[in-house]
């Protein structure tokens, strides 16, 4: 079933390498394909700012603005919901101030307000080392999951961390003990909010993972939170928990002062993940197994958010397909369909998403520009020219009634029309026989007749020094260092 809640319209401006960007979508998944550095992850990052927090790169808001641009960065989306469409948006605020949030044309006081319409989860290549890397990354990952379930969690974590830094400063300055007492009491309340939200989310996630079971494609994860907080692993109540922390912090002041930081608290907790079937810590699983575990975890969490809030989270999956074999890719797409949500996926090649068939809108990204992908079936002539290029064999054909011998150099489309930029080295032109040094020709493939593979020598011509304007959407370029961002490589 298609998603009942989806992004139908996305607009970004002055964001990273985009001056402006616009997508108009239906409920299907969205596939973004483009070469390295095109702006795929940037677009995902833009969408990730439609949730509380600092987005999928944890960038400062200054970094998000397009370098050299006058305007302030902005991201806006229309979300289709069962109750009708809603417009949400965010963007740079005043210097050093918080970001602006707008909902249905009015300013919103808190970023969490967007979560009433849209929930987000993401998976990026930067998370590949999650299970082997530092605990801080896993904690952040966990907090991300919790925020998708409880939108205020992100702010609670930030408040707790701010209070903790203040405690470290007070310790360093040997401040009045009454200040410390007051601050530690306040910190304990914030710590409890953070801790119980995490523990509750992990408990519910465990439950849903056991209900879903596991399969070979996406193995089940066993989850546990380490207990760096208080002495009891399962404190009975928030009051107990807070009292335990206040007491621990009170007693560890000298030690914390010497260390220059607070040694205990929810900021030290780790999320322990085990590969359930194999009974090995995720950190010891293979690279592919770790990726599959992570995907399984995200899918299970999406399911949890959907059943707990009624809002299936939108998924941002950066380069998700690249590391999976075709059968696992197919399993992923099937799992995404089952969630009945829209997901935005990126890759460097459209063929990675073939198994999605017509279940996705395909978008080309090049140098910060988005364009709809024409999914036309290549003509026989196109296929023949492609073969000639990959084998480096010339073509003989008739064009405008004249016989030509040429080598195709760039193949693609302009406004949906198949074209080739070719180097003609023999035969006729409108001005008589072709010049001995050869001539560059831009041909519409629909007008090419009697095309055959030739057997002669390959003539690449000298490097064309002027920028070609024959083909807007370059599919293939025989030049491996093509400046035209060809969609495919030989």
Ligand X SMILES: Nc1ncnc2c1ncn2[C@@H]1O[C@H](COP(=O)(O)OP(=O)(O)OP(=O)(O)O)[C@@H](O)[C@H]1O
Q: Single out the residue of 409, 412, 410, 414 nearest to residue 425, CA to CA.
A: 409
Contact segment (CB under 6 A) with ligand X among 32-40, 204-212, 266-274, 433-441 equals: 32-40
Which run of H or of E encompasses 102?
strand 100-103
Instruction: Determine the size of the site formed for ligand X (CB under 6 A).
Output: 15
Residue 41 or 66: the one with the smaller Cβ distance to Mg ion is 41
Shortest distance in whole angstroms from residue 40 CB to ligand X: 3
Q: Which of 13, 27, 28, 34 binds ligand X (CB under 6 A)?
A: 34
Q: Which of 12, 38, 49, 188 binds ligand X (CB under 6 A)?
A: 38
Q: Single out the residue of 381, 367, 395 nearest to residue 483, CA to CA.
A: 367
CA distance 130 to 490: 34
- The reply on whether position 67 binds ligand X by CB under 6 A is yes
- The reply on whether position 66 binds ligand X by CB under 6 A is yes
Answer with the entry of Mg ion, ligand X, none that 211 interacts with (C-beta below 5 to 8 A by kind).
none
- The reply on whether position 91 binds ligand X by CB under 6 A is no
* Site residues for Mg ion per CB under 5 A: 40-41
CA distance 141 to 196: 16
Torsion of CA 158, 162, 168, 174, to 10 degrees: -160
Residue 277 or 371: the one with the smaller Cβ distance to ligand X is 371
Burial class of residue 167 in the structure, from the number of CB atoms within 10 Å of its CB (0-12 exposed, 13-18 middle, 19+ buried): buried
Residue 42 or 361: the one with the smaller Cβ distance to ligand X is 42
Contact segment (CB under 6 A) with ligand X among 61-69, 78-86, 262-270, 412-420 equals: 61-69
Residue 92 or 388: the one with the smaller Cβ distance to ligand X is 92
- The reply on whether position 254 binds ligand X by CB under 6 A is no
Shortest distance in whole angstroms from residue 344 CB to ligand X: 12
Q: Single out the residue of 161, 157, 183, 185 nearest to residue 247, CA to CA.
A: 185
- The reply on whether position 36 binds ligand X by CB under 6 A is yes
Answer with the entry of ligand X, Mg ion, none that 486 interacts with (C-beta below 5 to 8 A by kind).
none
- The reply on whether position 16 binds ligand X by CB under 6 A is yes
Structure tokens at 212: 């879903």
- The reply on whether position 39 binds ligand X by CB under 6 A is yes
Residue 128 or 340: the one with the smaller Cβ distance to ligand X is 128
- The reply on whether position 41 binds ligand X by CB under 6 A is yes
Which residue bears the tokens 């007070």?
A: 170
Which run of H or of E encompasses 6?
strand 6-15
Strand pairing partners for 75? 12, 90
Q: Which residue is nearest to Mg ion (CB)?
A: 41
Shortest distance in whole angstroms from residue 323 CB to Mg ion: 14
Contact mark string toward ligand X, 337..356, x via CB under 6 A:
-----------x--------
Name the phi and psi angles at 92, rounded to 5: -60, 140
Residue 294 or 389: the one with the smaller Cβ distance to ligand X is 294
Answer with the entry of Mg ion, ligand X, none that 361 interacts with (C-beta below 5 to 8 A by kind).
none
Shortest distance in whole angstroms from residue 318 CB to Mg ion: 6
First-to-last alpha carbon distance for the chain, in angstroms, is: 37
Residues 6+ apart with CB under 8 A from 230: 240, 241, 244, 245, 248
Residue 13 or 41: the one with the smaller Cβ distance to Mg ion is 41
CA angle 150, 63, 36 (to 5 degrees): 95
Which residue bears the tokens 């509380």?
A: 52
- The reply on whether position 487 binds ligand X by CB under 6 A is no
Residues 6+ apart with CB under 8 A from 162: none
Q: Which of 17, 81, 185, 252 binds ligand X (CB under 6 A)?
A: 17
CA distance 212 to 319: 25
CA distance 18 to 7: 19
- The reply on whether position 42 binds ligand X by CB under 6 A is yes
Residues of this chain that bind ligand X (CB under 6 A): 16-17, 34, 36-42, 63, 65-67, 348
């Amino acid at each position: 079933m298609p998603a009942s809640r989806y992004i139908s319209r996305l607009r970004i401006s002055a964001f990273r390498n985009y001056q402006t960007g616009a997508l108009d979508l239906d409920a299907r998944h969205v596939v973004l394909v483009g070469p390295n550095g095109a702006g795929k992850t940037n677009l995902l990052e833009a969408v990730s700012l439609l949730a509380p927090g600092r987005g999928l790169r944890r960038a400062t808001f200054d970094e998000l603005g397009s370098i050299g641009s006058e305007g302030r960065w902005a991201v806006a989306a229309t979300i289709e919901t069962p109750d009708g469409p809603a417009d949400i948006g965010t963007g740079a605020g005043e210097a050093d101030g918080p970001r602006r949030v707008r909902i249905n044309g009015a300013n919103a006081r808190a970023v969490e307000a967007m979560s009433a319409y849209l929930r987000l989860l993401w998976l990026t290549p930067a998370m590949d080392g999650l299970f082997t890397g530092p605990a801080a990354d896993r904690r952040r990952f966990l907090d991300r999951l919790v925020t998708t379930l409880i939108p205020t969690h992100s702010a609670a974590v930030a408040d707790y961390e701010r209070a903790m830094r203040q405690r470290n400063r007070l310790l360093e300055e040997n401040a009045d003990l009454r200040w410390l007492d007051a601050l530690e009491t306040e910190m304990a309340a914030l710590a409890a909010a953070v801790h119980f939200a995490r523990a509750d989310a992990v408990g519910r996630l465990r439950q849903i993972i056991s209900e879903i079971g596991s399969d070979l494609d996406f193995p089940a994860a066993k989850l546990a939170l380490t207990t760096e907080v208080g002495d009891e692993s399962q404190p009975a109540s928030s009051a107990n928990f807070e009292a335990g922390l206040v007491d621990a912090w009170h007693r560890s002041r000298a030690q914390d002062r010497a260390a220059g930081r607070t040694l205990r608290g929810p900021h030290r907790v780790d999320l322990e993940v085990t590969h359930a079937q194999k009974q090995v810590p995720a950190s010891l699983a293979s690279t592919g197994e770790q990726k599959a575990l992570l995907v399984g975890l995200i899918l299970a969490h999406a399911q949890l958010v959907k059943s707990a809030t009624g809002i299936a989270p939108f998924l941002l999956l950066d380069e998700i397909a690249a590391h999976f074999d075709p059968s696992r890719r197919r399993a992923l797409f099937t799992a995404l369909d089952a969630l009945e949500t829209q997901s935005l996926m990126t890759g460097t090649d459209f063929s990675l998403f073939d198994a999605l068939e017509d279940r996705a809108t395909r978008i080309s990204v090049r140098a910060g520009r988005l364009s709809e992908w024409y999914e036309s079936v290549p003509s026989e002539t196109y296929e023949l020219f492609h073969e000639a290029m990959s084998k480096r064999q010339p073509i003989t054909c008739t064009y405008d009634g004249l016989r030509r011998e040429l080598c195709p150099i760039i193949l693609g489309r302009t406004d949906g029309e198949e074209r080739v930029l070719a180097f003609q080295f023999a035969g006729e032109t409108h001005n008589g026989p072709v010049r001995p040094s050869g001539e560059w020709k831009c041909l519409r493939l629909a007008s090419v007749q009697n095309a055959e593979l030739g057997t002669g020598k390959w003539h690449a011509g000298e490097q064309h020094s002027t920028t070609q304007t024959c083909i807007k959407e370059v599919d293939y370029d025989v030049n491996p260092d093509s400046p035209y961002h060809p969609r495919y490589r030989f």
